[in-house]
Amino acid sequence: MVAPEHAADAGRGADLARAIDHTFLKPEGRRADVERAVAEAEELGVYSVCVSPSELPLELPAGSALQVTAVCGFPSGKHRSAVKAAEAAFAVAQGADEIDMVIDVGAALDGRIEAVEADIRAVRAAVPAPTVLKVIIESAALDDDTIVAVCGAAEAAGADFVKTSTGFHPAGGATVHAVEVMRRAVGDRLAIKASGGIRSREDAEAMLRAGASRLGLSSSRAVLAGETGSSGY
């Protein structure tokens, strides 16, 4: 039984857990690591588990409510659109409920926003609704105007979310400022996922206040416990 003085914190913890995509994307990850990530996601009551497409299909417990997210064009985004589309479609065929695709960041930096939009459209066509499509824009590598332009491309192409980061780019991960810029750009028409460098509950809650509704975390247990995670996808 939760003590009365801790009941509010417990409620917030449950709400926070349901905003988390528990993420395991280490290149050196082994099958046993993925199985542990799935078990931990189930135990923590998070929304989804996010894995590399090569790890699909996942074995989930009978009756599990856990959603499965797979990345696409990850982490560089430097893949032909047809390859991204095929990867996304295969992942869905293997059980993915949601796809997190990476844009061609170089195209965005060149101002070729129409190419970014075409790339997203190709993936959207390959994985139509009800599959959820999140578009990773690598916000730390972009200035505010480019973030706004790329968010517009994602919206025009039919994406459901814009997402800050892969967590692998040297420019860094999510920031409150980037989430705020993205929220102003998409209003309430698209959702926002913050990921990359979120290591504490304070960080997580700041992202939600700024306008994110989903969080990509590899240190989900530590964050939910109010501790500082050692890794920060």
Catalytic residue positions, numbered: 100, 163, 193
Joined together, the tokens standing for residue 35 give 């199985």
Q: Which residue, among 81, 79, 89, 97, has the nearest Cα to 126 in the 3D structure?
A: 89
| Other residues' Cβ atoms within 10 Å of the Cβ of residue 11 | 11
Say what the alpha-carbon torsion angle 158, 160, 163, 166 is, to the nearest 10 degrees: -80
Write the secondary structure of 110-129 as one string of H (helix), E (strand) and C (coil). CCCHHHHHHHHHHHHHHCCC
Dist. CA 74–CA 86, nearest whole Å: 13
184-188 own/partner pairs: CB under 8 Å, 24+ apart? 184/148, 185/147, 185/148, 185/151, 185/152, 186/151, 186/154, 186/155, 186/162
Q: Give me the count of residues in the chain.
A: 233
